[in-house]
Structure 1
Amino acid sequence: MATLVQTAGFPVLCIPWFLLHPSRQASTSSTSLSIKTLALLYFVLGVLVAGDNMLYSVGLLYLSASTYSLICATQLAFNAIFSYFLNSQKFTALILNLVVILSLSAALIAVNDDSDGPSGVPKGKFLIGFLCTLGASALYSLLLSFMQLSFQKVLKKETFSVVLEMQIYTSVVASCLSTIGLFASGEWKSLQHEMEVFGTGRVSYVLTLVWTAITWQVCAVGVVGLIFVVSSLFPNVISTLSLAVTPLAALVVFHDKMNGVKVIAMLLALGGFASYIYQNYIDDKKARRLQTHVREIQHTA
């Protein structure tokens, strides 16, 4: 259910998609992509999304919120590597520094003997949660790079409706696979009991699922939109901003343990984020300088 809810809210995106109907017509008429090509593209992306969501759900099941968020920070390092090979992203010394620092941050969490999970979960499940979250971070980064590659090499469209189309169609595939998994695993039989024992009642249980599904779609559209406008690496950078908040929020809301290892891991992750921001500042400064130089040449000519 936790996996399904991450993509099941896609129907809410149909409203803005239909409002953008004119631009959608213009984009489809200018591109000669076959239905088979689009279907294969969205099916592969949907399968990756479903698998990634499942890994994240298992990881969150066995890890505390603070530990989970710190391991998730490694997706920025994975994304830097995949972007280098798939999207021709420059691999500078600062980006390499980012990869090393975030890898070290995850390693500290992995070897932390005091790492804890939600109440009632055996300590032996920590390794499963760690590996699933680490694998999900790698798969998520690969997915973002594939999406950027799809925009550049396959879709080649420049309208926001394309962003919505990708999110809707991949979510349809991922939701179908998650629903099959829900029934195949037999978990659907326990949903009635979950509603009944939910702390604040059945209505709150349903509303929690509904609003979680909607907010996931808002988040996903923002991620895909940033890939479309900037690059696959940039939305990961924005996501890493939550590192400064999530462990502290987990400390207050869930009473997670914030030991010295977690604090060091959080500071390392934030340091890696700062190095990436500085690299972007340098790149932007060079680009502005080049644009100024080109204007000066055109003016004198």
Structure 2
Amino acid sequence: MTVQARLSAMGKLEIPFGVFTLIYTTQLFFTPIFARLVNKIKFNRWVVISLALAIATGALTLSSAFGGEPDEAEENYARGSWAALFAGVCFSLLLCNIQNVFDNYIFKRTESSTTRKPSFASVFEVIIFSSLAATIISVAGLLIAGEQDDLKREMNEFSKGKGAYVMAMVGQAVSWQVYWVGIVGLVFSVSSVLSNVISVVTWPIVSVLVVIFFNFMDDEFDVFKGVALITAVLSAAAYFFRLHKENRDNDVIAN
């Protein structure tokens, strides 16, 4: 988790956000591969269609902007591109490993107990321990690199004051935890593949909300965002149709 976050941040700061998005979307190629190898997940045409539409959704968000985008003089395409690519690989591998933890440890542990069954509390169990480990590693890395002075300077130079800076950081931390509850919850409930699909198809929704509420960096609702919203809906619909079809077939077999 720490490595993925670090690589993702590095990629966003080294290359334009549109380029980063295109490269980072490759996670949707890696997740099915890892899911097949690690989690033994089987695929059908509806999953493939969902993945293809999700890839299109991610690629079409290239027109979105990011506040930390580098100037032309600051761009480093080689380093930023590799960082974005490996960030995508790490995210895919992380999702599949989380599912592996559920399948091979938590579910088996609860199945062996006569009093405890798998519950959504397992999601918080995974998030708490992984976040704690990631926090310790991140803080240690920050102190070793001496970046605490940069944080102090950033807080002192924040235009709205130190209090607003602290509130912004706290809000961001809470938002990320909510995000990970959703991501890990989807892995727990369905699979790492659906979790990855949903995480990507929300990109255009977020970019549209930014345009509506913040007019961020004069970002506009263009044709790319419109098409991305359509492909996002179709991608999610294809996967959920597959789940509906599986449940219906299972009911027929059970009866």
SS of equivalent residue, structure 2 residue 43: coil
Give the deviation of 1:123 after TM superposition.
5.8
Counterpart pick for 2:37 among 69, 85, 88: 85
Task: Give the Cα–Cα distance (whole angstroms) in 2 for the partners of residues 229 and 108 of structure 1.
Answer: 28
Equivalent residue number for residue 242 of structure 1: 202
1:152 is aligned to 2:103: yes
Gaps in structure 2 of 5+ consecutive residues: 111-117
Aligned-residue identity in percent: 28
Q: Deviations over 1:58-108 (max 9, x none)?
A: 122234555545544333332222212222222334544555666688789
Question: TM-score by structure 2 length?
Answer: 0.77
Determine which of 132, 149, 163 is the counterpart of 2:83: 132
The answer to whether residue 128 in structure 2 is matched with residue 168 in structure 1 is yes
| Paired residue total | 241
State the Cα distance separating 1:240 from its structure 2 match. Answer: 2.1
Closer, same or farther: CA 226–105 of 1 in aligned 2, 3 Å? closer
- 1 CA distance for matches of 2:169 and 2:102? 31
What code does the residue aligned with 1:118 have? Answer: E
Describe the shift of the 1:220–1:117 C-alpha distance in structure 2 as closer, same or farther (beyond 3 A): closer
Separation in 2 of the partners of 1:108 and 1:230?
26
Which moved further from structure 2: 194-203 or 80-89? 80-89
SS in 1 for 2:71: coil
Query: What TM-score, normalized by structure 1, do the two folds share?
Result: 0.66
The 1:214–1:117 alpha-carbon spacing in structure 2 relative to 1, beyond 3 Å, is: closer
Quote the offset at 1:254 in angstroms: 2.1
Local SS of the residue matching 1:89: coil
Q: 1:213 corresponds to which residue?
A: 173
The equivalent position to 1:204 in structure 2, one of 164, 167, 184, is 164
- How do 1:269-280 and structure 2 match up within 5 A? 271=231, 274-275=234-235, 277-280=237-240
Tell me which structure has the larger Cα radius of gyration.
1
RMSD of Structure 2 on Structure 1 (CA)? 3.5
CA distance in 2, matches of 1:179, 1:162: 26
Question: How far apart are the structure 2 equivalents of 1:284 and 1:126?
Answer: 43
Q: Which moved more, 1:119-128 or 1:80-89?
A: 119-128
User: Is 2:140 aligned against 1:180?
Assistant: yes
Q: How far apart, CA to CA, are the structure 2 residues paired with 1:129 and 1:255?
A: 24
On the 8 A contact 1:164/1:221 being kept in 2, the answer is yes
CA distance in 2, matches of 1:285, 1:106: 26
Question: How far is the alpha carbon of 1:175 from its aligned partner?
Answer: 0.8
1:126 deviates by 3.9
CA contact (8 A) 1:144 1:232 kept: yes
